[in-house]
Each structure stands twice: as C-alpha cells, then as structure tokens.
A = this chain, B = another copy of it.
Amino acid sequence: MSSERLLLQLEIDQLNADYAAALDEKRFDDWPLFFTADGKYTVQGRENFDRGLPLALIALESQGMMKDRVYGVTQTIYHAPYYTRHVISPARVLAQEGSLVTAQSNYAVFRTRPGDSSEVYNVGRYIDEIVRTEAGLRFASRLCVYDSEMILNSLIYPI
C-alpha cells in the first residue's frame, strides 16, 4: 500500500515536471498529449474560482481544442516572444478512486522577455484529475487557478 502511494507520488511529480519541460522548451505540440482525448484545460482567476463563478480566461474541452490553441499560439497570434519557466512544488495527492487521482500543486511561472531580466508571471494552483492510460498518467482535467489578478501583457502560452 505504502509503496503504491510512493510510486503514485513519483509518477505525478514526474508528470508535472515533464509538463513543465514541454512548455518551457516550447514543445507546444506535445502539450495536448498530456491530456486525455476529452481532457479539459481551464485557466481561471482565483477571484472567480473562490466565488464559484463560471467565468474562466481559457476553457478548452478536448485535446482537439488544445491543438487548435497551439496552432493559434504558434502560427497566428501576433505577440512578443517570451520564455517561461515553471517551478512546481511536490503535488498533494488528495484522493484516489479507482483509476482517478485528484491532486493539487502550487506553481510559479516566471517570464523572461528578450534582453530582459526574469519576472514573476503567474502563480497559482493546479487542481488536477489524473487518470492512468496505457501511455501513462494523463490529465482528465487540469484547472489552473491563478492568483495573479493583473496578468502581465497577455497570457499566450499555456500555464
């Protein structure tokens, strides 16, 4: 039992680390693959989340919508380039029911614009529903609840 719990923690922390690496290395085409085919990716301000309000900054409801978003980000949106760097703390594993794991992690994303110093870009909490698939753990849902009420410029790349 304990060794299963240890392995689960390892797998989730590695999932988070791999997710961060894909985004920070700008391998955006890999990003939807961290989700199930009908996986959900939501970015919501904490103000709305805490009040139970539905409005979210970004709400994608399938891998297809994520691929579309990646296309938009890399091919069509005109924006100033920047680097991101994710630092994610060890996940809190909150529940496990069958193959569904509920976990949360605090994250800090730092942004660096060309020729500039790095700055705090977006901090918050991942609220995740994770399922085991043949290809390993995948997000059935990743909800990014961000504290940062004023977003520096705009949020282009996934959090």
Contacts and interface: CB of A to CB of B under 8 A. Distances in A.
Number of identical protomers: 3
Interface string A137-159: 00000000001111110000000
A37 interface: no
Contacts of A68: none
Contact of A123 (B10, B14, B88, B112): B112
Contact of A6 (B6, B90, B152): B6
Interface residues of A, number: 52
A24 B125 contact: yes
Interface string A36-61: 00000000001000000000000000
A97 B20 CA distance: 24
A148 B17 contact: no
A85 B125 contact: yes
Given A2-B7, A92-B18, A125-B24, A87 B114 contact: no
Nearest to A17: B92
A17 B103 CA distance: 11
Interface in A57-84: 83
13 contacts: A6-B6, A6-B10, A17-B92, A21-B92, A86-B106, A87-B123, A90-B90, A110-B147, A115-B149, A115-B150, A117-B149, A117-B150, A118-B122
